[in-house]
Amino acid sequence: MALLTAQLLAAAAEQWGVFEASFKGPTTGNPFTEVRLTARFYQDDFAREVTGFYDGDGNYRVRFMPERPGTWRFVTDSSAKELDGKKGEFIATKPGANNHGPVRVANEFHFAYADGTPFRQIGTTCYAWTHQSVALQEQTLKTLAGAPFNKLRMCIFPKRYNWSTNEPPLYPFAGTPPRDWDTTRFNPAFFQHLERRILDLQRLGIEADVILFHPYDEGHWGFDRMTAQADDRYLRYVVARLAAFRNVWWSLANEWDFMKGKREEDFERYGQIVAAADPHRHLLSIHNGKVMPNHTRPWLTHASIQNGSAVEDASRAVMYRDAFRKPVVYDEVKYEGNLPKRWGNLSAEEMVQRFWQGTVAGTYVGHGETYLHPRNLIWWATGGELHGQSPARLAFLRKVLDAAPTEGIEPIDKWQNPTYGGKAGHYYLVYLGKAAPTSWEFKLPKPPQGKANAIEDGMKFRAEVLDTWNMTATSVPGDFTLKRTGEYFWADANGRSIPLPGKPWQALRIRRVEP
C-alpha cells in the first residue's frame, strides 16, 4: 500500500492558502483517465469535496484552499486501492498580511476580496507570456512588479497570431508537435510551469484571469478544435490543478464566437462544468468577439466585454451594467500602441480616458499595449517591457480608487449627467474628458431613486482638481455649502465655481465635510 508522502511543505497552510496532500499510486495503464481520486475536507459542519489529479511519475495530488482557520480533516475516495480511504488533518493558520483571499462579487456591481477588502480592477493583457523564453517571462514579472495592474489576462494554450508565432517550450499534452497529441495524457511539466507563474503573480498581488480556450490556433496545434470529450477532460483537469490558488479567475474563452469549431451550446456546457468542478467558486466569465454572449447565465459571475466605443463616454458604459445586473469589466477596449490594425493603435490619452469613463459609470476597464517591436515582443501577446504612457496614469487612477468609498463607485445621475460617479451625498468623481473648460459651476445632481435623503441644504463639501494626465491633485480653497437650486440640482450657496486650467483630461474629486 502506498503511503501518504507529503502535505504541501508542512501540515499547515494559511487560510486561503494551498494545502496539498500527495500520494504514490498506480503508474500502469493511463492514470490520467483510469484512476478516480477525490477527497472530502471538513471542519465541524462545513465540508468541501475536491477532485484530485495525476501529476506524473506515480504522484497523485489533492489540493484544497481552506476558507476558514482552524483544524481541517480529510478522507480520500478512489477507484485505486492504494489511494482510497487515506485520512489526514492540518491546521489552517491566520492569513498573512498580503493574503486577503479570493476575489468575489460585492455590492452587486463590484468586487472585494474574501476578507472584505475592496478590489478595484486595473487589469492588463499578456496572452502568451508563459509561452516565451524564461528570460522574457522574468522580464514580464519585473515589469509587473513596477506597474499598477492587479489583474492579468493570460491564455493556458499557446497563441499563434500576427506578431506572436513562436513555438512554446512546453505543450499541454503528450505527443509530437505540432499536431500529433494524445489528449488523454496531460504533460505535468507544462502545468507545473503554469502553476509557478500563477504563484509568481500571486506574490505580486495580481489576479490571474486564466483563459481556457481561444481561437488563435487555427489548426496549427489543434487545441482550438479538440473533441467535446477532450475539451471536457481538459477543463476538469485544469480546475483540479488550479482551483486551490486564490488568485485564479476563469475565463471560458477569449473571443468565444471566433472559435468556428465550437457552438454556443458547447460554451454553455463548459461553463456548467467549470462551475460544478470548482469547489472554491472562483470568478467565471466569457469574453466576446462580435457576438455578445448571454451574461445573465447563472454560472457567470460578471460580464467580460470587448467594446471600445462603449467606454468613450460613461452614459454608454453603464448600459451593459443595467442589462446584466452584474459587475462589468471592459477587458478589451482596444490597445495603446501603433499597430496597423485599428484595435491596436489607441493613443495613451484615449486609453486613460476609457478607464476614467468606465470608472464613473461604475464599471471596470482593462489595459493592453501593442507597440511594434523589432523582435515582435509586444506586451499584449508576449509580455516583456511596457513602452506606453498610460500605465503611470493608471497608477494615479488606482490611488484615487484606493481612497474611494469601500462600496465602489456608483453612477449618480446616469441618464442625464453621466459624468458624475461616486456615493451620493458623500463622495463624487466628475470626469470632464476631452472638454477643456476654464471653470466648473459647483453643483451636485439629485441622488438616485431611493436615496432622497442623501443630500440636503447646508451640507458642506471640499473639492480637488485632478489632472488625470499630469497626475496631480490640487485642493480648491474653502468649503462649498449646498443650496437647492431647482428640482434636480444643489449648488454652492454663494454661487461659487471651481477654476480649471483650460486643458482636457481634468476630473473633480468632491468629498463631504463630515459633521
Interior CA angle at 314 toward 308 and 320, to 5°? Answer: 70
pLDDT value of position 327: 98
Residue 426 counted as domain residue: yes
Cβ neighbours of residue 176 under 8 Å, at least 6 residues apart? none
Q: Which pLDDT band, with edges at 50, 70 and 90, does 11 fall under?
A: low
Same domain, 27 and 174: no
How large is the C-alpha radius of gyration of the chain? Answer: 25
Cβ neighbours of residue 66 under 8 Å, at least 6 residues apart? 13, 14, 15, 16, 17, 19, 41, 43, 72, 92
Residue 101 counted as domain residue: no
Answer whether 411's CB lies under 8 Å from 423's CB. Answer: no
Burial 212-222 (b: 16+ CB within 10 A, else e): bbbbbbeebbb
Strands 59-64 and 19-24, how do they pair?
antiparallel
Residue 483 counted as domain residue: yes
Whole-number percent of the chain with pLDDT over 90: 95
Out of 93, 110, 134, a domain closes at 93
**CATH number (domain holding residue 436):** 2.60.40.3950
- 3-state secondary structure at position 498: strand
**CATH number (domain holding residue 210):** 3.20.20.80
Same domain, 373 and 446: no
One-letter identity of residue 61: R
Annotate 42-90 with DSSP letters as a single string. Answer: EETTEEEEEE-EE-STTEEEEEE--SSSEEEEEEEEESSGGGTT-EEEE
Task: Report which of residues 41 and 449 the model is more confident about.
Answer: 41
Q: Is the pLDDT of residue 9 over 60?
A: no
pLDDT digits (tens, 9 = 90+) for 134-193: 999 999 999 999 999 999 999 999 999 988 899 999 999 999 999 999 999 999 999 999
pLDDT value of position 12: 76
pLDDT digits (tens, 9 = 90+) for 385-409: 999 999 999 999 999 999 999 999 9
Out of 93, 109, 138, a domain closes at 93
Same domain, 130 and 279: yes
Between CA 9 and CA 501 the distance in angstroms is: 58
Note the pTM of the prediction, 2 decimals. Answer: 0.96
Same domain, 257 and 396: yes
pLDDT value of position 452: 67
Same domain, 379 and 419: no
Same domain, 44 and 150: no
> Where do the H-state alpha helices sit in 64-165?
134-145
Average pLDDT of span 297-318: 97
* Helix or strand (DSSP H, E) at 21: strand 19-24
Q: What's the structural domain count of the chain?
A: 3
- Which residues make beta-bridge pairs with 365? 122, 330
Q: Is the pLDDT of residue 243 over 50?
A: yes
Same domain, 71 and 140: no
Same domain, 394 and 417: no
Same domain, 388 and 414: no
SS (H, E, C) 456-495: CCCCEEEEEEEECCCCEEEECCCCEEEEECCCCEEEECCC
Same domain, 83 and 143: no
Residue 250 counted as domain residue: yes
**C-alpha distances out from residue 409 to 110, 331, 445, Å:** 9, 18, 15
**CATH number (domain holding residue 76):** 2.60.40.10
Q: Which pLDDT band, with edges at 50, 70 and 90, does 367 fall under?
A: very high
Same domain, 69 and 218: no
pLDDT value of position 1: 26
C-alpha cell at 4: 501518504
Residue 113 counted as domain residue: no
Of 28, 9, 29, which Cα lies nearest the Cα of 19?
9
Residue 317 counted as domain residue: no
Cβ neighbours of residue 301 under 8 Å, at least 6 residues apart? 105, 283, 284, 285, 326, 327
Out of 374, 402, 430, a domain closes at 402
Residue 295 counted as domain residue: no
Average pLDDT of span 439-445: 97
Q: By residue range, what is the domain housing residue 502? A: 410-512
Same domain, 129 and 224: yes
Average pLDDT of span 94-101: 96
Q: How many CA atoms lie within 13 A of 481 on its CB side?
A: 4
Answer whether 379's CB lies under 8 Å from 390's CB. Answer: no
Residue 213 counted as domain residue: yes
